[in-house]
Structure 1
Amino acid sequence: MNQQLGQLSLLVRDYDEAIQYYTQVLDFELLEDTTMSETKRWVRVAPPGSTCHLLLAKAANETQEKQIGFQAGGRVFLFLYTDDFWRDYRKYTSRGVEFIREPSEESYGIVSVFKDLYGNLWDLIERIE
Structure 2
Amino acid sequence: MRHLGLVTLVVPDYDEAIAYYTGRLGFELREDTALPDKRWVVVAPGPAAQTGLLLARAATGHQRGRVGDQTGGRVAFFLVTDDVDADLRRFTEAGVTVEQPPRDEPYGRVAVFTDLYGNRWDLIQPAGAAPGA
Question: TM-score normalized by structure 1?
Answer: 0.95
Determine if contact 2:85/2:102 at 8 Å carries over to the other structure: no
Match of 2:43 among 20, 42, 45: 45
Residues 74-104 of structure 1, C-alpha deviation per residue, up to 9 Å, x if partnerless?
A: 0000000001111101000111111111210
**Equivalent residue runs for 1:10-21 within 5 Å:** 10-21=9-20
Structure 2 match to 1:23: 22
- Matches of 1:113 and 1:4, distance apart in 2: 25
Q: Which residue of 2 aligns with 1:71?
A: 70
Which residues of structure 1 form unaligned runs of 5+? Answer: none
- The reply on whether 1:95 has 2:94 as its aligned counterpart is yes
What do residues 29-78 of structure 1 show as CA deviations (whole Å, max 9, x unaligned)? 000000002x4100000011210010000001000000000001100000
Matched residue pairs, number? 127
Cα distance in 2 for partners of 1:29, 1:115 equals: 19
Q: Give the C-alpha shift of residue 3 in structure 1.
A: 2.3
Q: Distance in 2 between matches of 1:28 and 1:4?
A: 19
Give the 4+ runs in structure 1 shifted more than 3 A: none
TM-score, length-normalised on structure 2? 0.93
The CA deviation at 1:28 is 0.3
- Give how far 1:23 is off: 0.3
Residue 81 of structure 1: aligned partner: 80
Structure 2 residue matching 1:27: 3-state secondary structure: coil
Letter in 2 for 1:46: A
